Structures are given as C-alpha cells and as structure tokens.
Amino acid sequence: MDVLDLARTQFAVTGSLHFLFVVLTLGLAPLIAIMHTRYVMTGKPLHERRTRFWGQIYVINYALGIFTGLVMEFQFGLSWSGLSHYAGDIFGAPLAIETLVAFFLESTFLGLWIFGWHRLPKWLHLACIWLVALTAYASAFWIMVANSFLQNPAGAVERGDHLVLTDFGALVTNPMLTLALPHVIGAGLWTGGFVVMGASAYHLFKRTAEREFFTGSLRLGIVTAFVGSLITVGFGYAQFAPLSTFQPDKFEASPLTGISLGSMIGIGQLLQFLIMFVLLPTVYWLPRRRWAQPILMAITPLPFLAAILGWLVRETGRQPWLIYGKLTVADAMSPGLTSGMITASLIGFAGVLGLLAVVDYVLIARTVRRGPAAIALGADGPADSTERAHALSY
C-alpha cells in the first residue's frame, strides 16, 4: 500500500477499535441510571446490587475507552494536518467542546458517582449518574457535529485557502447530523441491551444462586435492545433521504461501502426480527428456558459488528473526499510522511488499542464471571450482607 492507503487504514483500524468502547458506553449509561433510580425509589438492596454490578462494567469500559479516544485525537495532527489548516477552525471547535464535556463534566460526575456511594445524599448521588448519561450523550452529539461537517460542510464558506464558519445554527442542524445521531444512540442502546442480556444468560445457564438478580437483568436487556433496535433501524432508513441529496454517489464510489451496508442491514434485520417476534414476546418465561441461554450468549457480539459496519458505510462512502466536495483525503494528508513512518505508527497504535480492547473485554468477562458478590464499586453498603450471603452459597 502507498502512504495514503496506509494512513487511511491506520485511522480506520483505530477508529473501529475506539467505537467499540463508545457504543457500549452509550448503551450502558442510561441503563445504570435507570437501575439506580429504581434503587433510590424503592430502597431495595436488589436494585442497589444491580446498579453496582453493571456500573462496575460501565466504569471498566469507560476508563479504558478514554485512552483510545486520545489516540484518535492525536492522529489528526500526525497524519491529517491538511484538514487542520483548511477547516481546523470549524472542525476543531466541536472536538474541543466534546473534550471539555467528556474529560471535565462527564469524568467529574462519574468520579462523584463512583466515590459517592454511602457518602452523598441518595438523590444527589442519583443525579450524578444521570448527569454522566446526559454528558455522554452530549459528547456523542459534538462528535457527530464534527463528523457530519465532513459529510456535508453546512454553514461554512471558502475564503482564500481555508473554510470559515458563517452559520453556527446550520452546523448543529446539519441534515447529515439530525438523523445520524439518533441512529448512533439507538445502536448504543441495542449494544448495551445485548451485553446485559448475554451476561445474564451466562449466569442463568450456570444456575447460580443469583437467579432473581439475572432474571430481571435479562428482561431489562431484552426490552432495551428492542427499543434500541426500533430507533436504530428507523433512523437508519431515514438517512437515505439526506444521503440522496448531499451524497448521491455514496454507494457507488467504494465497493467496500456496498458490502458493509448489505452486511449491516442483514445483521440488523435478523436481530430485530429475533427481538420483536421471539425474545420480546417470551421475555417473561425465557429466563427459565436453559436451552435458550447459549443462543443469547452467542448473539451478544453481533450489535458490535453491525456498529463497525455502519461506521465503515458512513466513512468509506465519502471517498475520495475528507470534507465532501471541498477537501480530498490526499490533500488533507500531512506532507513529508513516509510509508515507514505510517507503518510504524499503524503497528504502534493498532497494538496499543488492540491490547486495550482485549484488556477491556477480559476484565468485563472476569467481572461477569465472578458475579455481583465480588463487586468493589460501592462496597461496605447496606447490600453487602446480602452479597456475603450469596458468596457463601457458591
């Protein structure tokens, strides 16, 4: 591959690995907030234990995902300085806002939630996790603002050798944003629901002492996946309208786009039919059917695969443009890069992010396997006596 193809491959690999963390974060955050709300409203130790168990999985994924995001930001300066020169004032603004939201607000509220167990008043502690969820979605909004600008440079005009923003309202109401953002949020809910469902199915299949705990979690996961599937598929098809206006040749410029689109739709439709016509109608008796649990575990990774395929559809179909109709990928690449430099950074970035992804899922799998009796988040609370009793039964 030449230098340009290597640089594109580098960003595609790191972007895909980073999105695996993002999509799970977006899916789990509102679920944790809902579980915590049920605990505060009812005071039942079961709801507290659910919040802490799934909350610890969220914290693991969030903490490791931060480092993958840093690599993504670093690459803009390393490989794509032409983008910074031509449209940095516009493209960089939403990324800067997102960084402030993610690293200051979201991280601050998450820290308060993590260390606020049994220290903060219950309602204030609950507000912290809802603020975590809201800032996570705000972070996704600003990332999608930046990405949608690349798809359709709304609100910008060319002056000299660079773009300037003339209409901020057009930037944040970009037609390539307004339908894509709910699609991404729906994919997150779909993925988060499947992770909760699959992990719960694992424990139900093992016939552990935590049957009530994971029966409720499995049902919540299925309902969440159903809601996420409706949002994802609905807004996914709705995007064809603006695409026909702003990127009419999207599915003709790169063979990979068509393959990714077909695969994504195939997986999405299969899973949606499964949820709507099999899982949801049987949600109350499904936890008692041991033969179904391995199937639920086996299909858990599919929303992750569909999410990556969707990202590839959105990005590869824009080629050869980095900013559609304004700046090509070739013109955006940093000057002076060599194949050796890009290859070395590709190996380094892919290795680090790949290792983080492996560590993430190993830690999550170990947390799931150990169950709620071994959770450190919010320890020494009123539910701990219940957890110790369950631990003794293993």
- 3-state class of 334 per DSSP? coil
Residues of the domain holding 190: 180-238+248-317
Say if 103 falls within a structural domain.
no
Say if 285 falls within a structural domain.
yes
Say if 207 falls within a structural domain.
yes
Q: Which residues pair with 68 in a beta bridge?
A: none
pLDDT at residue 252, as a whole number: 79
pLDDT at residue 103, as a whole number: 78
Distance CA 82, CA 107 (A): 31
b/e code 137-159 from CB counts within 10 Å (16+ = b): bbbbbbbbbbbbbbbbbbbbeee
Ranges of beta strands (E only) in the chain are 156-159, 162-165, 321-323, 327-328
Rounded to the nearest 10°, the torsion over CA 157, 160, 162, 168 is -30
pLDDT at residue 137, as a whole number: 96
pLDDT at residue 134, as a whole number: 96
> Of 111, 131, 31, 113, which is closest to residue 66 (Cα–Cα)?
111
What is the amino acid identity at position 299? Answer: I
Distance CA 295, CA 198 (A): 9
pLDDT at residue 345, as a whole number: 86
> Of 228, 235, 234, 240, which is closest to residue 317 (Cα–Cα)?
240
> Of 67, 68, 55, which is closest to residue 110 (Cα–Cα)?
55
213 touches 372 (CB < 8 A):
yes
Say if 376 falls within a structural domain.
no
Say if 329 falls within a structural domain.
no
Q: Which residues pair with 163 in a beta bridge?
A: 158
pLDDT at residue 385, as a whole number: 52
- Provide the sign of the torsion angle of the four alpha carbons 72, 73, 79, 85, taken in this order: positive
pLDDT at residue 391, as a whole number: 43
195 touches 214 (CB < 8 A):
no
Say if 259 falls within a structural domain.
yes
Extract the tokens encoding 123: 């309602």
Distance CA 56, CA 28 (A): 11
Residue ranges of the chain with per-residue pLDDT less than 70: 253, 381-394
Q: How many domains is the chain built from?
A: 1
Query: What is the model's pTM?
Result: 0.92
Distance CA 219, CA 279 (A): 9
b/e code 72-81 from CB counts within 10 Å (16+ = b): beebbebbbb
Say if 56 falls within a structural domain.
no
Say if 339 falls within a structural domain.
no
pLDDT at residue 171, as a whole number: 95
